[in-house]
């Protein structure tokens, strides 16, 4: 024990020395949630590291007037940051995993290192606009206004010449660092400010100190050796008991698919448990329905609330594939994807064969409910719509990029975007997704999806790629912005698709008319236009014109320009006046707005006329 205490003392001295020459105070991070470091997803871990560092730099600017630490302190600052991450109990190596070198922590935007240099670069009128929006508690709609202002007004004065910036603090984050440190009265450590500008949440045990943590760790080391063998014995006993319980369940359910993995964390429920949770599938518990069957709200025996999806027209012959499917889905975890908790299969003479999945419950229902359903009278404000758009894109990007092989959802629509208690969007119902090798185009003989959301090349030819999901995402984004359904009729009972309607407005410079009227706390006109143009780009009827969902997400989350949007083929739903007006519009069109925002060009494409038409 004496040796352990000495080692602990030397380790503490080492940590003190590592941070001695670094002026940044990384201890403030203990006040904020660091859960992403334990996610196992490198992208999320690096994002957590960037958010942490931006908060620390903002506090440094507030107390010292500098955006960045001195170059000769770069390595010491990295070491101090790494030590702080280690103190959280994570073994994540931020430099090697995220690809940063020592100097990247002291490089910034346009060689701006001090508050005075920033204020010289950004005119006082623009800074006054920033202050008006951000000089308040940044909760609720105030955050929306501040964030929108910071993403637009100062950025024209902070543009890098290079398209690739390797440092952590590029020009897009400087306004947030400055606003939190200088303009906001609560400073960067205020919970609302940290959440709004750096996406960090406070933790309840923010008063913990690191000395106690290291002492507890040292004591734990001495005890853990003694408990090791006992713990191993207990684990073996528990696993044996779990297998016994599982065997009893399988015996009670009759013959089950041979592919069921006994080591899976997925819960296999008995049909009686499902009946009890849903009050015997009471109609009062129905919270959704579709071609697959009904969704019920359920309460399990432990008190947890779940969503129970009951499939209809099932047969025992499909259980083998069903069990494999739910096992795959249950292994996919992301904050913007609905988690699968368990499933049930059961024969029944009266009701037929039962096939059920149990998912986490979303208290705010679906996006469809808020746009067109029972909650449509409570219009979403601009901040909520932006949060939902980003959540949709992040969930879809995870399916396309971080799951191997990639998952194509095939049925992105408003009713499959669910909202938790904080209006965080989660993509649901990817149980029928197809798994395709990277870079391979899948040609399906069975088109899944919902009319109005399905990409033209998929609906007409069965050609399925990740960009089929991007098209559906663009349609849902237009619904979110406009409050209109994907397919609707005009005042003259003329059928119209939302993409054709929005495009016609954008072409004549009336992009802002796409936005739902009487929206609460709408954002700045230039930001609104960006969202509309991103939606139109994603929902372009020609596959090669669409971005990947990763590219669309980067445009939404940063100040990257929206690429030029090629002109669209004639809509499938069009009258003679539409055709004549489109045919007479020659050359390149310019999309402009009353807000004076940068216009977006449309390029006429001669081959577009021969391609598949969109309806």
Residue ranges for the binding site? Answer: 309
- The SS3 of residue 353 is strand
The C-alpha atoms of residue 520 and residue 383 are separated, in whole angstroms, by: 9
Which among 213, 439, 255, 466 has a CA at the least distance from the CA of 347?
Answer: 255
Tell me if 22 sits within 8 A of 73, measured CB to CB: yes
Tell me if 413 sits within 8 A of 485, measured CB to CB: no
CA angle 35, 37, 38 (to 5 degrees): 75
Tell me if 211 sits within 8 A of 68, measured CB to CB: no
H, E, C per residue of 155-208: HHHCCCCCCCCCCCCCCCCHHHHHHHHHHCCCCCCCHHHHHHHHCCCECCCCCC
Q: Angle, to 10 degrees, between the axis of helix 549-557 and the axis of helix 525-538?
A: 180
CA angle 182, 186, 192 (to 5 degrees): 115
List CB contacts of 349: < 8 A, sequence separation 6 or more: none
CA angle 132, 383, 466 (to 5 degrees): 135
Which among 390, 423, 392, 395 has a CA at the least distance from the CA of 527?
Answer: 390
Which pair of structure tokens corresponds to residue 421?
Answer: 């208690």
Active site residue 411: yes
CA angle 51, 56, 59 (to 5 degrees): 130
Paired residues of 434 in beta bridges: 408
Backbone angles phi, psi at 293, to 5 degrees: 145, -150
**Which residue in the block uniquely carries the two structure tokens 């903002």?**
58
H, E, C per residue of 19-65: CCCCCCCHHHHHHECCHHHHCCCHHHHHHHHHHHHHHHHHHHHHHHC
**Residue set of the binding site for ATP:** 309
H, E, C per residue of 361-426: CCCCCEHHHHHHCCCCCCCCCHHHHHHHHHHHHHHHHHHHHHCCCEEECCCCCHHHEEECCCCCEE
Tell me if 507 sits within 8 A of 489, measured CB to CB: no
Tell me if 481 sits within 8 A of 533, measured CB to CB: no
Backbone angles phi, psi at 427, to 5 degrees: -80, 130
Which pair of structure tokens corresponds to residue 397?
Answer: 């990007």
Residues 79, 190, 369, 411: which is the catalytic one?
Answer: 411
Report, as residue numbers or ranges, the catalytic residues: 411
């Amino acid at each position: 024990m004496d040796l352990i205490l000495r080692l602990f003392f030397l380790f503490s001295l080492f940590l003190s020395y590592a941070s001695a020459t670094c002026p940044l105070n990384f201890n403030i991070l203990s006040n904020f949630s660091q859960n992403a470091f334990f996610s196992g997803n490198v992208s999320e871990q690096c994002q957590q590291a960037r958010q942490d560092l931006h908060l620390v730099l903002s506090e440094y600017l507030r107390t010292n007037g500098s955006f960045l630490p001195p170059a000769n302190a770069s390595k010491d600052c990295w070491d101090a940051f790494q030590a702080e991450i280690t103190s959280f109990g994570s073994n994540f190596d931020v430099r090697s995993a995220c690809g940063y070198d020592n100097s990247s922590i002291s490089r910034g935007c346009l060689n701006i290192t001090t508050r005075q240099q920033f204020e010289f670069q950004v005119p006082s009128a623009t800074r006054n606009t920033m202050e008006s929006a951000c000089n308040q508690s940044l909760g609720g709609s105030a955050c929306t206004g501040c964030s929108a202002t910071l993403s637009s007004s100062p950025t024209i004065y902070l543009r890098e010449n290079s398209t690739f910036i390797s440092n952590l603090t590029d020009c897009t984050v400087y306004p947030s660092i400055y606003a939190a440190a200088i303009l906001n009265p609560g400073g960067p450590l205020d919970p609302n400010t940290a959440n709004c500008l750096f996406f960090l949440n406070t933790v309840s045990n923010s008063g913990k100190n690191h000395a106690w943590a290291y002492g507890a760790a040292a004591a734990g080391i001495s005890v853990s050796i003694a408990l090791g063998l006992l713990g191993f014995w207990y684990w073996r006993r528990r696993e044996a008991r779990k297998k016994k319980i599982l065997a009893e369940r399988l015996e009670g359910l009759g013959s089950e698919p041979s592919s069921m993995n006994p080591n899976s964390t997925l819960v296999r429920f008995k049909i009686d448990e499902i009946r009890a949770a849903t009050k015997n599938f009471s109609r009062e518990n129905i919270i959704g329905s579709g071609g697959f069957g009904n969704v019920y709200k359920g309460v399990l025996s432990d008190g947890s609330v779940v969503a129970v999806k009951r499939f209809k027209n099932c047969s025992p012959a499909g259980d083998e594939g069903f069990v494999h499917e739910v096992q795959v889905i249950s292994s996919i975890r992301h904050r913007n994807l609905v988690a699968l908790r368990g499933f049930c299969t059961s024969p029944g003479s009266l009701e037929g064969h039962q096939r059920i999945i149990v998912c986490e419950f979303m208290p705010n229902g679906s996006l469809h409910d808020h746009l067109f359903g029972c909650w449509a009278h409570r219009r979403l404000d601009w901040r909520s719509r932006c949060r939902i758009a980003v959540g949709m894109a992040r969930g879809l990007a995870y399916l396309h990029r971080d799951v191997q092989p990639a998952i194509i959802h095939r049925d992105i629509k408003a009713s499959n975007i669910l909202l938790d208690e904080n209006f965080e969007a989660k993509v649901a119902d990817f149980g029928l997704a197809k798994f395709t090798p990277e870079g391979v185009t899948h040609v399906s003989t069975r088109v899944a999806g919902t009319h109005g959301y399905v990409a033209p090349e998929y609906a007409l030819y069965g050609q399925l790629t990740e960009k089929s999901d991007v098209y559906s995402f663009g349609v849902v984004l237009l619904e979110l912005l406009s409050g209109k359904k994907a397919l609707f009729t005009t005042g003259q009972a003329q059928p119209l698709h939302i993409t054709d309607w929005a495009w016609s407005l954008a072409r004549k410079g009336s992009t802002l008319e796409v936005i739902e009227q009487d929206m609460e706390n709408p954002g700045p006109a230039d930001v609104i236009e960006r969202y509309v143009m991103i939606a139109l780009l994603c929902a372009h009827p020609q596959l090669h014109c669409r971005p990947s969902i990763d590219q669309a997400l980067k445009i939404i989350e940063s100040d990257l320009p929206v690429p030029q949007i090629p002109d669209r083929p004639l809509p499938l739903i069009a009258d003679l006046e539409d055709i004549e007006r489109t045919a007479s519009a020659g050359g390149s069109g310019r999309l402009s707005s009353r807000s004076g925002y940068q216009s977006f060009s449309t390029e006429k494409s001669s081959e577009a006329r021969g391609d598949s038409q969109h309806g």
